[in-house]
């Protein structure tokens, strides 16, 4: 007999954790795509060769935030792999 309550809990946790990991990864990409502070405003088409930037680095906070998001997403993936493979925990 199928335990529908347990199946529902597993489905909700799986969908929620997958959404969280994808959101963390996307946020990390967004942080790393932050333009430099001194970048001029550009129109709809952005051409890196035409940007006038005196300091070509992104803000430190954006870099740290992106790395933290990637690390948290990686930890989530590794924890999921740990839960899936029985040889790792028992």
pTM as predicted: 0.78
- HSE toward the beta carbon, residue 61, CA cutoff 13 A: 1
Tens-place pLDDT, residues 11-55: 999 999 999 999 999 999 999 998 887 776 655 555 566 555 555
User: Would you state the pLDDT for residue 22?
Assistant: 98
**Residue 63 pLDDT more than 70?**
yes
Non-local (6+) Cβ contacts of 53 within 8 A are: 35, 36, 38, 39, 40
Mean pLDDT (the chain, rounded) = 87
User: Would you state the pLDDT for residue 67?
Assistant: 97
């Amino acid at each position: 007999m199928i335990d529908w309550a347990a199946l529902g809990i597993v489905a909700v946790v799986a969908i929620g954790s997958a959404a969280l990991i994808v959101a963390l990864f996307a946020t990390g990409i967004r942080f790393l795509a932050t333009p430099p502070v001194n970048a001029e405003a550009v129109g709809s088409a952005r051409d890196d060769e035409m940007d006038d930037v005196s300091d070509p680095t992104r803000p430190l906070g954006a870099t740290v935030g992106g790395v933290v998001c990637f690390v948290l997403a990686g930890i989530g993936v590794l924890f999921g792999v740990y839960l899936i493979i029985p040889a790792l925990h028992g």
